[in-house]
Chains A and B, each alone.
Chain A
Amino acid sequence: MIDETENELPEFSQSAPLTLGVELELQIIGSQDYNLIGSAPDLLREMTGRKHPGDVKPEITDSMIELSTDICQDYQDALTQLRSIRNELVHQADRLGIMLSGGGTHPFQHWGQQAIFDAPRFHHLSQLYGYLAKQFTIFGQHVHIGCACPDQALWLLHAFSRYIPHLITLSAASPFVQGIDTGFQSARLNSVFAFPLSGRAPFALSWDDFSTYYRKMIATGVVKSMKDFYWDIRPKPEFGTIELRVMDTPLTVERAAQIAAYAQALASYLLKEKPFEPQEDDYLVYTYNRFQACRFGYDGRLVVPGTAEQRVIRDDILRTMATIEMHAYDLGSTEALNLLRTEVLQGRNGASEVRAAQASEGSLEEVVRQGSERWAGRLS
């Protein structure tokens, strides 16, 4: 699979607009030392044949596992599916005496100790990227949003770019890396930026232009398929979706579903109201805004693209929530939006919760233990 170059982009599949798909990368944690443990093969073996919606797949190191939902119609659907997969995974983890956890990074794991999952693609990545591949032991949430046609997908992709700081802030849950408080809310994204093909997608609004770009990149030999691009948002032609990839895996499936619902309502607003036309110049402030969100979260300042106006990210999120309220209502995700709004008003996200736990417990092991209980839904 890995040696085959996909010379042409796959056909852009039909998918119902605004349908959702959620993928979550999870930490597998040993109950002896609360560190990551390479139990993905055990967990996958015990999961085979169990009935649950969606899918459970291996990830690059064998202390990670990825769950994904089937196509979801709305927030409730996503929440129900996520809970059901979570419950089955937690049940199997309990049998194996291991724990699962959300969060974008493990607070004190050392990447040198991770083993690469035994599959050709992962060994290839490990060979190519060296220690970067192991440092990629980070855990993200991906949200797929269905698009009617490829041009619409590209339009939405670029329109979404200015809301990337929102998604980062709402999901941020990786303040600690290798035992140290980084000062970041999402330190996970710093690991992503280390990859040569990370960042933003090229500005192309038609599928033809995008295909041309893709063919040129293939011709350089730098990439072999869409999988080699680690962009923050990338089109997924096989699914007929765009894939939002900047989020940390939140600490609970409930939060993950709420964030997916927020993205869905936002997409509905953008596609139906077309409040602005995306432009290349939107990206002038893109990395600055993204950094502000990663570093300061709600208190960060973003620059509104096309203007010199600075806004506190908290205010920008609240303002956007007010704007998309009706779309959320139509999509049946008013509850999700309200729950998220409360969090924003209280300045709370995964990062602040992890920090609060560390402040009160003074032990990262205990933070990890509580994190796994929270993930399992046993801790409010």
Chain B
Amino acid sequence: MEPSVFFLPDWPPDLSPLLWIALAVVGAALAGEWIRHHLGLPRITAYPVVGMLVAAIAGNRLVAEHGDWLRTGLDIALAILLFELGSRVDLRWLRHNRWLLVTSICESLAAFGAVFAVSRYLGVAITPAVLLGAIGMATSPAVIMRVVAESNAQGQVSTRLLILTALNTIYAVVTVHLAMGVLHQRYSGDWVLAITHPLYLLGAGLLVGKLLAMAVSGLHRWLALRDEYASIILLGLVLMTIGLIEALRLPVTLCMLFAGIVLRNGERRAWVFPRHFGSVGGVLVIMLFLVAGMQIKVEHLFTGGFLALVLIGARSLAKLTGVLLLARPAGVSWRQGLLLGLALSPAAGPVMVAAADLGRLYPELQVTLIPVAMSAAAIMELVGPVIVALCLKWSGERRD
């Protein structure tokens, strides 16, 4: 129907997806405050739920139409998170406490084994099962970083949680890419390709990480990176790095983690991640969790069905066992070991992205790998933050 006056909008007015996203942001922020105030849980536990509900109401077009725009935003948020996570990994601690390193390897291998075994038992082919296992090793860096930061938690459980998460994410990314190498060999029969690809990813990833670390640490020496204005330089550097990473077709996860680790351990000088920069990232992270939630369809929670639940259970149990077995030699009490093991259960987002990429590369995996992984990830996306928050609360390390 033509409007009678030219400056009046059509009726009913055309609500753009942007408005829906904005609504979702406000809704998520409010729900976050509500959850924090009434349930004493970190705000981020509310974001994915709100995202999922908004997506359910607004429909598919919401994410689809803004896919590229959102993906860039998410990459930035994730990159900053991983950079900070990496900068919290103190390699000297691993040298002083070998059992911590052994714990890390143990829990990752156990998780890999559990997920691999369950997938095999349920009839998934070997290569997709290896991929599932690799994805299962990683704990979600985003969930861990945000919940620890928001709880202002400090102590053995939270510090070890951060370091174990960084390590198992690295293992996972490396394994996924090794498995990709295998896939290359199987699908195209080219050995050279299969070997050089992961080597390139790792080597170049380290190099890019090193470059960013050098830039930031040089800058840090020159100006104190303490105020908001310095954060914009940092943000710019991270954006440049992401650009470089994309140009070189490298995994963001690996490069940013390496950058953080090199930054922290490259020199002995004290390094504290600038707090303002953390909060710039913090705002973006609301979006990250919201959008992660938007990508969950309610039916996702069920399509993976029983297999998804068994997967989650076996994986969590494996991680818990890995940590608990070595709790005392590694220097934590049984109770701390229990909470640490449980808190490692959130499944990783970035590796999910890798899995989705693989799904696009090899459509035949769409049927076996993707629905189960999506379902398990969806469930953990919603439940993971709550588990971590409760573990930190019970450990007595929360100080908010």
Contact = CB atoms under 8 A, between A and B. Distances in A.
B270 A97 contact: no
A32 B270 contact: no
Contact of B331 (A38, A46, A113): A46
B90 interface: yes
Interface string A19-34: 0000000000011111
A375 B63 CA distance: 55
A106 B93 CA distance: 22
Contact of A38 (B155, B224, B272): B155
A94 B93 CA distance: 7
Contacts of B270: 34, 363, 365-366, 368-369
Interface in B78-133: 88, 90, 93, 96-97, 100
Q: Give the interface size class of chain B.
A: 20 to 34
A95 interface: yes
A378 to B, nearest CB: 10
A38, A42, A96 pick with most chain B CB within 10 angstroms = A96
A37 interface: yes
A93 B154 CA distance: 15
Nearest to B95: A94
A39 interface: yes
B154 A97 contact: no
A51 interface: no
Nearest to A46: B331
A46 B330 CA distance: 10
* Residue among A95, A361, A369 facing the most chain B CB atoms (10 A cut-off): A95
A45 interface: yes
Interface in B128-157: 154-156
Contacts, number: 61
A370 B363 CA distance: 55
Given A363-B270, A366-B269, A366-B270, A32 B97 contact: no
A287 B271 CA distance: 41
Contacts of A37: 154-155
Interface string A109-121: 0000101000000
Interface in A50-103: 92, 94-97
Nearest to B87: A32
Contact of B93 (A31, A34, A115, A361): A31
B97 A94 contact: yes
Contacts of B272: 32-34, 365
Interface in B231-279: 268-272
A376 to B, nearest CB: 11
Given A32-B154, A32-B159, A42-B155, A97 B269 contact: no
Interface in B26-80: none
A343 B77 CA distance: 52
Nearest to A39: B155
A336 B399 CA distance: 44
Contact of B154 (A38, A92, A362): A38
Contacts of B271: 365
A46 B155 CA distance: 14
A32 B88 contact: yes
Which 10 A-B pairs rank lowest in CB-CB distance, beginning with the nearest? A94-B96, A365-B270, A97-B93, A369-B270, A366-B270, A95-B331, A95-B97, A37-B154, A42-B156, A365-B272
Interface of A: 30-34, 37-39, 42, 45-46, 92, 94-97, 113, 115, 361-363, 365-366, 368-369
11 contacts: A31-B93, A32-B159, A38-B155, A42-B156, A95-B331, A96-B156, A97-B90, A97-B96, A361-B269, A363-B270, A368-B270
Given A32-B88, A37-B154, A38-B155, 15 more contacts: A31-B93, A31-B159, A34-B270, A42-B156, A42-B331, A42-B332, A92-B331, A94-B96, A95-B331, A96-B331, A97-B96, A97-B156, A361-B269, A363-B269, A368-B270
